[in-house]
A and B are shown apart, each in its own frame.
Chain A
Amino acid sequence: MGADIALAVIGVCFVAPLLWLLLAAVDPQAGYQTKVPSAPSTANFSAVLTPELLFQPLANSLWLSAGTAVVNLLAAVLAAYPLSRYQSRFNKPFMYTVLFGTSLPVTAIMVPVYGLFVQLHLLDSMAATIFFMATTTLPMAIWMTKNFMDSVPLELEEAAWMDGASAMAALRTIVLPLMRPGLGVVFIFVFIQAWGNFFVPFILLLSPGKQPAAVSIFSFFGQHGAVAYGQLAAFSILYSVPVLLLYALVSRGMGNSFALSGAMKG
C-alpha cells in the first residue's frame, strides 16, 4: 500500500508537465497557464491542419526518418551478416569499436559535421542529411542486428549452402525472413530517433521547404513575436502521435526492453 501511494505520487509528478500540452491544445485562448478550457474546441487543430504548417513538415519528417531507417537497416544487415556468421579475428575488435562509436556525443560533432558539409557542398541536402543521421544510429543498429541474427541457427543456412546457394542468397531467403521481428524493432527504433531529432536537421537543412516537423514547430514559438500557444500544443500532439504509436507497437511485442537489448547485452 505504501509503495502504491509513493509510486502514484511519482506518477502524478511525471504527468504534470504534460497536462498543459493536452489542455492548451483544445483551448483557443491558451496561455502558459494550465487551465481547463472555458470553451474547448478543435480550433487549434484546424488552424494547423494546412499544407504549409503541418503536411509538408510531416512529409519531410517521414521522408527523413524512413530514409534514415532504410539506409541504416541495409548497412547494418550487411555488416552484421559476416560478423554473425564467420569467425574472424577482426570481429571482436570491430564490434567493440562499433560499441565505442555508440557513445560519441552527437551534439559535439555537429560543429565539425557542419564544416564537413560546407566543404563537400552537402548543406541543405536531404540525402546527405539522411546518410549522416543513419550513420549516427548505425553503431547501435549493427550491435542490435547482430544480436538478433545470432539467434537464427546457423544449421538452416548450411543446408542452403549445400544446395549451392551463395551467402547473400542465404541471407535474403533464410536469415532475414526468420529475423523479421528483430528487423522491425531496429527499423522502428531508428525511425523514432530520427523522427524526434531536432538538432541535426536544424543545423544541416536550411530551406524551410525541407525542414521536418521537429524544426518547423519553431515557427509557433515566438518567431513572429507572440507565441501561438494553443497551436503549438496542437501541433506538438499531432507530431508526437506517430512515435507514440510506434513505441507502443514495439514495446508490446518486446516487453519494453527493446531499446536496451542493443546496449546492455555484452
Chain B
Amino acid sequence: MPMPMPAHARLDVARQLLDLLGDTRTEPRPDDQLEALTLAVAADLPVLLWGEPGIGKTAALNQLAEALDLPLTTVIASVHEPSDFSGLPIVGDDPAQQGVPLAPPDWAVRLVRAGRGLLFLDELSTAPPAVQAALLRLVLERRIGALQLPPGVRIVAAANPRSSAADGWELSPPLANRFVHLQWVHDHEVVVRGLGGVWPVATLPRLDPAALPAAVAFARRAVCELLTVRPELVHRLPTSETKRGGAWPSPRSWDMTLRLIAFATAAGSSREVLSLLVRGTVGDGPGLELMASMDRMDLPDPEQLLADPAGAVLPERGDLRQVVLDGVVAAVRNRPERARWDAAWALLLRALESGAPDVLVVPATTLASLRREDWEVPEAIEHLASTVALSRRADRAAGRVAARTNVTAGR
C-alpha cells in the first residue's frame, strides 16, 4: 500500500503539471491581424483592439511583447482614476511658491526608467469619461503627470464592443480618432493549434532600408491623390454615436494612414494587411476608397503603354484590363495622332492574345470611331474582327431577348 503523500509534495506535483501545461511553443505563421498589429506598433501609432472578451487579445499582446523584446505593462483603465494618468497632486510645504506637483504612478516611473516597453491599456471602453479624458493626454502627448514617456514605449489598448459589454461608455470621438482600430477576431485554426501547444509568433516586419524613400513618396502620393479629388473625405465626423467611437477620417487620422502606408510598403506587407490598417484608421468607407484609388495607381500608365506597345504588360484581371484599355483609348482621344492610334490598336491586339475578347469590344468601338480621314486601317484590325463577331453575337442574343419580351408584353 503506497504511503499517503505529504501536502507540499502534492503541490509540487501540481506545479509540475502546470509547468507542462504552460510549456507551449510558437511557430511563424502568416496571420494578417497579427501582422497589422505588429506593423502599427512598429510605426509607433497607438492601436486599439476591439474584440469579444476571452478571444485572446491579452495572449496576442504577450506574444507581441515577447517578439519585440519589450517588457509588458498592463493597466486596466476602468479600475483606475483620472489622477493615475494625469498625476496625483501632492501638496508640498509652500504650494503658492513651489506649486503642486503631479506625481506619476509607480508603473509609469518603472516604464520611464526602463526606457522601453509595451503599455497595454485594457478595458478602455468601460473607463468613465473622466478617465478617458485623462487618457487622451497619455495617448497623444505620451505624458503621465510630469513624466514624459520615452520614445521606446509603445501603446496598445483593448476594448470590448458595445454588443458584449452590458455597461460602459462610448469612446469619446477625440480619443477614438487617435487610435488605429483593429477588429480582433479569433481564427479557428490558430485557436485549435494554440490549445494544442503551438501559438503563432509575431515577427517584427523587416523594413528594407533601400525602399524607405520610395515608400514615403508612394504613401504621400496615395493619400494626396485621393484627397485632392475627394476633399470632403479630409474631415468627416460620423453622425451616429456608435460610429464616432470608431475610426473616422480627420487630418490626424489621414496622417496616421500615410505613416502606415509607408511602413507597410517598406515592409512589403500584403494589401490585406494594409487594408486592415487603413480601414482601422479612417474608417471603412474612406479606407476602401483609398485602397481602390491605390489599385488604380498600380495600373500601368496609358502614355507609357502607348510609347511601347510591344513591351506592354497588361493586368491579368478582366476588370483591371478594362480600366487600362479605357484609359489608353481616352489618352488617344485627348491627343489624336496617327502613331498613337496605331499603338492603341497594337495594344488591343496584345490584349486579345492574352485574355478574354469581350473586354475589348467597347475600347475597340471607341478607338475605331476616333479614326481620321487620312489614317489607314492597320493590320491589327483584321485580328480584332473576332471581337466584332462576338459583339454581333451578343447583339443577336439581345435582339432575341427583346423579341421575347415584346411577345410576353403583347400577350
Do A and B originate from a single complex?
A: no
B residues at A contact (CB < 8 Å): none
A residues at B contact (CB < 8 Å): none
